[in-house]
Amino acid sequence: MRSQPLNFFKERCMSHDLSNGAKATGLGLRNMQNYMLTEKRKVMIIDDDADICDIMHDVLHYEGFEVKCLLGPDRLFEEIAAFKPQVIILDYILKGITGGEVCSELKKRRSTSVLPIILMSAYPRVSKSTVDCCFETFIAKPFDLEEFVSAVRHLAIGH
């Protein structure tokens, strides 16, 4: 069963046309259309909460991203090699490992060191304690959908 926030998102976002979505994200309509016509940007989400993964997946898919969700870091490097994401969204609290540890491993490897990482957590203090993992952006949960999409888009376009 899907959570209440996802239903709210669908009701709120699906009723708006592209021009409102483009305006809300800070891009002009022409830029949004050009962006949407180019190759889809790929985003990989690593979060062990399936409901949160579903929400982020649906939001980003609606915004034109190709999205792959992983419910944990198992086979992470194989999944990255196969999917080739431009951005990684990483939850801090995962089963058996922290997102900070995963982030550090991603930044140590040559094949993944340049991938921009958005670290997310319901504990905002985490952003100060994980400075050594070199994530590009921190987003606190619960998050604002427009700010979330804007952060992902900014990193995806720059990569």
CATH numbers and ranges of domains, the chain: 4-158 (3.40.50.2300)
* Each residue's pLDDT tens digit, 132-147: 678 999 999 999 999 9
- The answer, as to whether pTM is greater than 0.85, is no
Q: Are 118 and 135 in contact (CB under 8 A)?
A: yes
* Each residue's pLDDT tens digit, 42-75: 999 999 999 999 999 999 999 999 999 999 999 9
